[in-house]
Chain A
């Protein structure tokens, strides 16, 4: 088997005494979709920020196709082929939908520039080019953010809770869109809480708790893992003790 697309090794970052991410290691193979799971505050978003260069790691390495990216500035990582979306959607609100996509096209790594209109059709925003981004609904802003990330022609797409905050019907559309993307061969690392989406989308999952990796494997395996259930729901014994008090 060839070298993995993304190779994270011993990645760590502390804030004061808190080890937000501690000795995190995992791989993402080309074409693979990996879920990064864990309860709130377990360090998933921090891990994503370290990989995308929004935060500098204290130690460890992040390699994309063998190229060391740990400690590189965010713009260099974006150009190297890692694009991301944000947990709280961040589109350029006072700009048009088209300009938002152009932002991704213009400074990316590709010499071949895709057509913004085509990308917008791909995420389901066809014909909305001239609208100000602020006038889009929440899910459409998420679509736009995805189009902007895809405009960079990334090797790896980092999605930070891209499905969060969608209503049930939007969720179905959202999952369908990610499925469609998957068929185009984009590799993805998703931080996600929506279990149905994880089961249907992810080839593999990495589960974190309190900054460390506690499980790795297929969605079915990790979701039935004792440590994972414990991390999400707590210990049986602890519950009993709480009840006693």
Chain B
């Protein structure tokens, strides 16, 4: 292996080790900011792994996050923490598998609308269940796994795992199949690709990361209700971060996460009442100025073909 191939690997490992020590060096605020960065880093990367190559735009991100968070709220006090995470991952997988089975035959706009509708449906269902059966809409999240350094550590590991999955996909048959599906799904089928199966595996696999991310951060919120756990704005934020970063490489979305998390943080601090309006303007600007993201812009300037991973 040549030096220029080893170097990025070493750099990435060093970066992760350095990030591991970051909370000890800063204060509570920096740790909280880093947690938000990692959370969106996981979500945007996972989103990009499926939606990037296939072109199936999902707005169901927060549905899986919410399922993870509610798993913690309901089971957090009864089960040991690793088991809670396992159940969250399992429920995320089950939900995404069922959704995928129903929707992945839909194309384009219909898929977007269905995934958006699914989130709303889940929110209303949980709302109804909580208000009529359990008697109170909100829940407190009391678990041992609530220290911010522990949450940070788990998210860091999760980010490493989702990036590892992306790296593997970028060189695997499945990853190649997903790109072919994005190019021309019918032609891909006639190349012998079971497109439904490929999409289902990838959609389920990436959704598990979203559910886990939701479960890991839930203790930070201490209180959740359906409006918090299934907040559709999160799905849009993840989408716009991934688009800003660029989808032609598995690590592309991360390039959009950092600037936008910082921007949203500033906005909420200084313009809490106008957040949605400014958010809309940011969406417009990104789509207009950088349609293929930071990554696409850089690659274009260096004249590298976008498709070569």
Binding site for B on A (CB under 8 A): 52-54, 73-76, 78-79, 83-84, 86, 90-96, 99, 102-104, 106-109, 132, 148, 152
Contacts and interface: CB of A to CB of B under 8 A. Distances in A.
Interface string B174-214: 00110110011011111111110000000000000000000
Given A96-B305, A103-B191, A152-B191, 15 more contacts: A52-B190, A54-B186, A73-B189, A74-B186, A75-B194, A75-B195, A76-B194, A78-B191, A78-B192, A90-B184, A92-B184, A94-B183, A102-B176, A107-B173, A107-B177
Nearest to A151: B191
B274 to A, nearest CB: 39
A74 B176 contact: no
A46 B195 CA distance: 22
B195 to A, nearest CB: 7
18 contacts: A52-B190, A53-B189, A53-B190, A54-B189, A73-B189, A74-B190, A75-B189, A75-B195, A86-B187, A90-B186, A92-B180, A99-B176, A103-B176, A103-B188, A104-B191, A107-B177, A107-B192, A148-B191
Between A52, A106, A108, the greatest number of chain B beta carbons within 10 A of the residue's beta carbon is seen for: A106
B306 interface: yes
Contacts of A103: 176, 180, 188, 191
Contacts of B187: 86, 90-92
Contacts of B305: 96, 132
A135 to B, nearest CB: 10
Q: How large is the interface on B (under 10, 10 to 19, 20 to 34, 35 or more residues)?
A: 20 to 34
B183 A95 contact: yes
Given A92-B183, A96-B308, A132-B305, A107 B190 contact: no
B307 A79 contact: no
Which 4 residue pairs of A and B lie closest in terms of their CB atoms, listed nearest first? A107-B192, A92-B183, A78-B192, A74-B189
Contacts of B179: 95
A13 B192 CA distance: 23
B176 A106 contact: yes
Interface in B139-189: 173, 176-177, 179-180, 183-184, 186-189
Interface of B: 173, 176-177, 179-180, 183-184, 186-195, 305-308
Contacts of B306: 94
A244 B193 CA distance: 57
A52 B192 CA distance: 11
Contact of A78 (B183, B184, B189, B308): B189
A107 B193 contact: yes
B18 to A, nearest CB: 36
Nearest to A107: B192
A73 B197 CA distance: 12
Nearest to B187: A90
Contacts of B193: 75, 107
A93 B183 contact: yes
Contacts of A106: 173, 176, 191
Contacts of A95: 179-180, 183, 307
B202 to A, nearest CB: 15
Contacts of A93: 183
B192 A75 contact: yes
Contacts of A104: 191-192
Given A94-B307, A95-B307, A108 B192 contact: yes
Nearest to B173: A106
A78 B194 CA distance: 10
A54 B189 CA distance: 9
A91 B188 CA distance: 10
A101 to B, nearest CB: 10
Nearest to B188: A103
Contacts of B194: 73, 75-76
A105 to B, nearest CB: 9
Between A52, A74, A148, the greatest number of chain B beta carbons within 10 A of the residue's beta carbon is seen for: A74
Nearest to B180: A103
Contacts of A52: 190
Contacts of B189: 53-54, 73-75, 78
A103 B307 CA distance: 14
Contact of B192 (A90, A92, A109): A109
B192 to A, nearest CB: 4
Nearest to A80: B192
A84 B190 contact: yes
Contacts of A79: 192
